[in-house]
Amino acid sequence: MTAAYSPLISQSKAVRVASWALRLLSAAVFLAAGGAKIAGEPMMVAIFDQVGFGQWFRVLTGIVEVGGAIALLVTASTAFGALTLAVTMVFAVLTHLFLIGGNPLPAVVLLAITGTVAWLHRRSFAVILDALR
């Protein structure tokens, strides 16, 4: 892979290690949280009852989280997975602030992590857009 098409903006070892650490951490969190949503854990059912969109939205959110977590671990889809999860966390923060209350800090932290991963892999978006042209 040439430097022009590298998925990471910087190829330094520190950046690669940091990217993998952030990806593994957030993938583990989203696999657990998304899996709990899909499995219908009582706490998740109660939270989504408060949200008010129906339980189909819990399942959809779980699928998005699990899919995004898997995408984080596949280098070719890391940027897409990180961006998808970052947007999901924007809505999670807004949900906490305006619908259900509670502490939005975990969602804010996950937003920062996934946003950082998306930023580190932003070159992948350019490669994808070039391929679509």
Note the pTM of the prediction, 2 decimals. Answer: 0.88
pLDDT per residue as tens digits for the range 45-88: 999 999 999 999 999 999 999 999 999 999 989 999 999 999 99
Residue 6's pLDDT band (boundaries 50, 70, 90)? low
Sequence-distant (6+) residues with CB within 8 A of 114 are: 26, 68, 72, 82, 83, 85, 86, 89
| Other beta carbons less than 10 A from residue 1's beta carbon | 8
